Amino acid sequence: MCGIVGLLLKNGALNARLGELVTPMLASMSERGPDSAGLAVFAEQDQGEKFSLFAADSEFDWDALKHALDDEALVGKPGIVSQGRYARLTLDVEPDTLKHWLGEHFPMLHVLSAGHYIDIYKDAGHPAAIAERYGFTGLTGSHAIGHTRMATESAITPAHAHPFTAGEDFCLVHNGSLSNPYSIRRRLERRGIRFETDNDTEAACRFIEWRLGEGETLEDALEEGFSVLDGFYTLLMGTHDKLALVRDPFACKPAVVAETDDYVAIGSEYRALAHLPDVKNATLFEPKPEVIYSWNR
Amino acid sequence: MESLTQKGVDAQTFDLASTTVRELNQFLHHELDGPEYIEILNPDGQHSIAVGLDAPVTVDIHGHAGYFIAGMNKQASVTVHGNVGWSVGENIMSGSVLVKGNASECAGASGHGGLVVIEGDASSRCGISMKGCDIVVGGSVGHMSAFMAQAGHLVVCGDADHGLGDSLYEAVIYVRGEIHGLGADAQIEPMQESDYAKVAELLARAGFDHDPKTFKRVASARSLYHWNADHFQEY
C-alpha cells in the first residue's frame, strides 16, 4: 500500500497556496504509507536550470559546495538555498555535467531532480514529519505530486522514496508493484540508461522518460507503457505543464479525482481531498483502468 | 428507499469532525438501547463507519465516506448521502445499505444476505464473491462485477463493463443497459417469469422505476463446474 496525491491549480490566484493545499493531502495518506514520503512541486514559470540536492550526510556543509562551484571555472554563478539535508541549486549547467562533477567532488550528494520548473523533496520517516522538516506548507507553484510509501519491495531510504525522476521536469509516483522491473531495466541499460536504485518504480519512470526523450508525447509513452509495464499500478506523473494519471488493466490500486473550475485534485482516497475548497461541489470520479487521463495547467 | 430522518424523526447525532470512528462504533456496538436513529456528520472519507452493526437501527451518514462503510451489517438500515470508497457493505448479513451517490470497488463483496443499493454507479468488482445478498445499482458497474459470485442477485440498471460475471457460481445478474463483455463461463440466458418477478421485487425495494422486461439475465454456463477430459488431465 502507498498513498499518492496530486494537485494542479487551474486558477493561478491559488498558486501561492499550493503547499498549504497539498500538504494536508499528503499527511492524510500517512496511514497508507508511513515509512517515507516525497513531494514534487512545479513552479509557475521557467526559473532557469535548477537542481534539488539531498545530502547523505546530515552534517553536510552546503557552503563548501558553493565555494567549490564558485572555484569551478567552467560554470556560471551558483545559487544555493539549503534546508538541512536538502538544497536547491540554481546553476546554468547540463544535468549530466553536474552529476559527473558531483560524483567526483561530492559523492555524498544525490541529485533528486533537474529542470527549469521542478523541485523534489523526499526523505525517509513519517510524512507529516517530512512535511514539517522541509516546510511543505509554504511552497508555491502551479502543480504538485506527492507520495507516501509503505515499502513492499526494496529498501526504505530517501533514494527509494517517491517521486522518482528521470531527465528534466518529469516525475512519477506509483502505488502498486511491478512484476517485470528487472527485464525493463535490462532493456534500458542496454541503451545506456543508468539507474540509481533497485526500486521497481524507477524502471517505469525511466521507461517513460526514455520514450519522451525519443520525441513521443506523454500520452503515446503511456499507451506503450500499458504493453510494457506488468503488475499493479496507479501512476501519477508530472511534467512542467501537466499531470497525467493511469491505472493498470485490473485497476487494482485505487484513485479518485475531484475537479472544479479552480483545480484538479487526485488522491488514492477521498480522504486526501476532503479538506479542499469547495470539494463538496466538485465533479468526483474514479479513473477507469487502462485509460490515460491528463490535465494541463 | 427513504431515510427516516427525512421524515422528521429526531436523531442522535455524531460529528466525525470531533468524534472518532472508534467512539462512534463503540456506541453502535455496545450502547444502543432499542431502535434508534443515528445521524453521522462530516464523514470526510473516513473508513469503517458503522461497521459490525447488529441491531435494527437506522443510520444516516451525511457526506462522502471511505472504505468498508457498514461492513458486516446485520439488521440495520444504513444510508450514505454521498459517495463511498471500496467495499461498502462488505459481508452484509441482513438489513440494508443505501448509497445515494457512487460506490468505488467491491461494493457488497462477499455479502451473505440483505440488500445493498447504489443509486449512482458502482466501480469494478461490484458484488465480488457475493454469497446470498442482493445488490441493486442505479447506474453502471465497472469491470469484473459479480466475479465468482456464489448466490444472490446483482441488478444493474445501467451498463456493465467487461468481464461481467467471470467464474460465476449460482448468483444471477440482471442488466438493463449494455454489457461490454462477459467473463469466463458467464452467458446471457432467456428471462423467465420468475426472473421478471425477482427484478420487479428488487427494483421496488431499491426504489427504482424500470420495466423488468428491459433487463437481460446473465448466469453461469456451468462449464467450469466439471472436469474437462479434453485437457487430457494435464492439470
What is the DSSP pairing of strand A164-165 with strand A283-285? unpaired
Between chains, do B66 and A289 touch, taking CB under 8 Å as contact? no
Which residue out of A2, A171, A205, A252 is catalytically annotated?
A2
The whole-angstrom distance between residue A15's C-alpha and the CA centroid of its chain comes to 18
ipTM field? 0.89
Q: Which of A210, A23, A1 is nearest to A121 (CA)?
A: A23
- Contacts A256 to B, Cβ<8 Å: 85, 104
A289 to chain B: closest CA residue: B143
**Contacting residues for A161 by C-beta, under 8 A, at least 6 apart:** A36, A37, A38, A122, A123, A124, A147, A149
- Contacts A274 to B, Cβ<8 Å: 44-45, 64
Return d(Cα B45, Cα A96) in angstroms, integer. Answer: 44
Instruction: List pLDDT tens digits, range A60-119.
Output: 999 999 999 988 766 678 899 999 999 999 999 999 999 999 999 999 999 999 999 999
Can you give the pLDDT at residue B225? 81
Instruction: List pLDDT tens digits, range B73-104.
Output: 999 999 999 999 999 999 999 999 999 999 99
- Contacts B67 to A, Cβ<8 Å: 269
Please tell me the number of Cα atoms within 13 Å of A193 on its side-chain side: 23
Mean pLDDT for chain A?
A: 95
* DSSP conformational letter for A69: H
pLDDT at A157 over 90: yes
Q: Which of A200, A119, A97 is nearest to A155 (CA)?
A: A200
| Chain A CB within 8 Å of residue B124 CB | yes
Q: Which of B206, B137, B125, B143 is nearest to B176 (CA)?
A: B137
Return d(Cα B184, Cα B199) in angstroms, integer. Answer: 24
Instruction: List pLDDT tens digits, range B62-77.
Output: 999 999 999 999 999 9
| A254 vs B102, B104, B142: nearest CB | B104
Provide the grid cell at A4. Answer: 499518492
> B 135-164 residues with CB below 8 A of A?
142-144, 161
3-class secondary-structure state, position B153:
strand
Between chains, do B86 and A272 touch, taking CB under 8 Å as contact? no
Between chains, do A251 and B143 touch, taking CB under 8 Å as contact? yes
Structure pTM? 0.93
Q: In what order do the strands lie in the sheet with B186-189?
A: B12-15, B37-41, B58-62, B77-81, B96-99, B115-118, B131-137, B151-156, B172-175, B216-220, B186-189
Residue of B41, B42, B44, B105 to mutate for A, most A C-beta atoms under 10 A: B44
Provide the grid cell at A28. Answer: 492524510
| Chain A CB within 8 Å of residue B66 CB | yes
Return d(Cα A250, Cα B170) in angstroms, integer. Answer: 24
Alpha helices in B1-143 (DSSP H): 21-30
Between chains, do B144 and A274 touch, taking CB under 8 Å as contact? no
Alpha helices in B13-83 (DSSP H): 21-30
A252 is catalytic: no
Instruction: List pLDDT tens digits, range A25-54.
Output: 999 999 999 999 999 999 999 999 999 999
Q: Which of A118, A130, A121 is nearest to A29 (CA)?
A: A130
| Chain A CB within 8 Å of residue B68 CB | no
Return d(Cα A284, Cα B123) in angstroms, integer. Answer: 13
Residues facing A9 on adjacent strands: A263
Q: Who wins on pLDDT, A192 or B4?
A: A192
Can you give the pLDDT at residue A104? 95
Task: Report residues of chain B scoring pLDDT below 50.
Answer: 1-4, 7
How many angstroms separate the Cα of A156 from the Cα of each of A29, A231, A291, A294?
17, 21, 31, 30
Between chains, do B142 and A288 touch, taking CB under 8 Å as contact? yes
Between chains, do A269 and B45 touch, taking CB under 8 Å as contact? yes
DSSP H or E run through B174: strand B172-175
CB A247, CB A233: distance < 8 Å:
yes
Between chains, do B86 and A254 touch, taking CB under 8 Å as contact? yes
Q: Which residues of A touch B (CB under 8 A)?
A: 250-251, 254, 256, 269-275, 280, 284-286, 288-289
A274 to chain B: closest CA residue: B44
> B 29-48 residues with CB below 8 A of A?
44-47
Q: Which of A211, A158, A153 is nearest to A182 (CA)?
A: A153
For residues A220-228, average pLDDT: 97
Q: What phi, psi does A207 have (nearest 5°)?
A: -60, -50
| A251 vs B67, B102, B124: nearest CB | B124
